[in-house]
Chain A
Amino acid sequence: MAVSHLQCKECKAQYPLEALYVCETCFGPLEVVYDHAGTSDDVAALRRRIQGGPQNIWRYADFLPTTAYGRGAAGGPPVTSAGGGSTRLGLPAGCTPLIRADRLAERLGLREVWVKNDAANPTHSFKDRVVSVAVTRARELGFETIACASTGNLANSVAAHGAALGLDSYVFIPADLEEQKVLATGVYGTKLVGVEGNYDDVNRLCTELCAERDWAFVNINLRPYYAEGSKTLAFEIAEQLGWELPDRCVVPIASGSLFTKIARGFEEFAELGLVEGELPSMNGAQADGCSPVASAFAAGHDVCRPVKPDTIAKSLAIGNPADGPYALDLARRTGGGVDCVSDDEVRAGIKLLAETTGVFTETAGGVTTATLAKLAARGDIGRDERVVLVITGEGLKTLDAVRGTFETHTIAPTVEAFESGVPQTVSV
């Protein structure tokens, strides 16, 4: 499958594969279109080709928007880097564990739950997938500087990729971001800019700067390519389930890009016969303090009214979600939904996941786990369903969320002190 062109999701106008992200006619978002002609209809061969690929997202290179892999954009011969070396760029993202979570399922009264732990990426979030794709395309297009507007995880990834590839990088974040995410960005030597305002203010500033600077803003002018990286989450889930689709996915929603692209990944695999069956029910998860998509879903609206975020789930704190209308449509047409949970439920979600699976997630994962618990309690999940919970980031990045939620027993270094000071489980 070769990448073909960019196309407006609204009016279908076509554009070349350049650093463009918005339709000049209607302002709709541009997305990548592929040419399926020439892709083998031998499903077994296609599966072997994927399985024989590297242990990272580039095993799915046929489904990603770079011209460096497979055939060129015009259907020509393979493009290789100067010197014949590998042109695969970026940190080795993807191929993260899919963990069967029987203890979590039992706690929630469900039959089968799997946790896709994307905290196991190089900078500990799913953002390494999208940044790997974006920086690869950025290099192909000749950019020497990468940049982003971030709620934290993207900041880590862009700064790390800049360091790994020797590219200049500028990372723009809300000035009040969690300390762990700031430290885990600055350490890579990026030019880190804390903007006085919320993420939507950062995003507006970067959209303006994007017009003035010859930089690759991975989630603005490179956004059509960047977003495609999220499809690899779906590809991996399907491959790890033995080339089968789950019945339901629970996924956090910030801009709505991840949510919609996971579904697109399942669709692409189904279109090529790599998997069979219906698209999973897609359930989106938001925090009460930033729930423009959940609110629109509940109200039956097809567009989102922007909000001013106020939640501990800062990585999901996008009050003006770019893909909101598409996320709403997806949730409705797959029999899923979009729910929101309180900050207390987020903390409880982090604890529930940690205590039942050994996976420590950040606040966004707490939102997702709490939403799964809410769906289970409400009886929205069928008894026979296979459910995948998409955990997008690492708990060590949002330590404040768990501070004070457990007790440490401090004792003198004696057996007597241990026996008198620590409650013990008696085993027979």
Chain B
Amino acid sequence: MSVLVKIPTQLRAAAGGEAETEVDGATVQEVLDGLFARHDELRSRLYDDDGGLRRFVNVYVAGEDIRFLDGLKTPVADGAELTILPAVAGG
């Protein structure tokens, strides 16, 4: 099951310069694990010491914030888009 992951500019240097990449996985957690397998440095950038998403990281599946869905357990459909963005914007 392939998902298109969109990588924010702040993380692209740690992701080999890629703005987006295809990763396999059935849940957000699996997709992110797949991303980390390819670019290990991203794990510490996105996760805190407790293994959860840092509080200033937003993850969206098909445009919806995963905190309105099932968090890291949110299922992702084949061909879906997963977007990682900084939370510190707006207001």
Contact = CB atoms under 8 A, between A and B. Distances in A.
Interface of A: 10, 21-29, 149, 199-201, 203-204, 206-208, 210-211, 219-220, 223, 254-258, 303, 305-306, 308, 318, 320-323, 325
A323 B91 contact: yes
A254 B68 CA distance: 19
Given A27-B56, A323-B91, A201 B45 contact: no
Interface residues of B, number: 26
Contact of B65 (A22, A200, A322): A200
Contact of B91 (A10, A208, A256, A325): A256
Contact of B90 (A10, A258, A318): A318
A28 to B, nearest CB: 6
Nearest to B60: A204
B55 interface: yes
Interface stretch (B23-31, B32-40, B72-80, B81-89): B81-89
Nearest to B8: A211
A29 B88 contact: yes
B89 A306 contact: no
Interface of B: 6, 8-11, 13, 45-46, 54-58, 60, 63, 65, 67-68, 83, 85-91
12 contacts: A27-B57, A203-B89, A204-B60, A204-B83, A206-B89, A207-B85, A207-B90, A208-B6, A208-B83, A219-B91, A223-B91, A322-B91
B4 to A, nearest CB: 13
A10 B58 contact: no
Given A200-B65, A306-B68, A320-B65, A149 B90 contact: yes
A306 B67 CA distance: 7
A257 B88 CA distance: 10
Given A22-B10, A27-B45, A211-B9, A219 B63 contact: no
A201 B65 CA distance: 9
A25 B85 CA distance: 14
Contacts of B90: 149, 199-200, 203, 206-207, 219-220, 255, 318, 322
Contacts of A255: 90-91
A207 B63 CA distance: 13
Given A10-B56, A22-B10, A25-B45, A322 B87 contact: yes
B10 A24 contact: yes
A256 B6 CA distance: 28
A82 B8 CA distance: 37
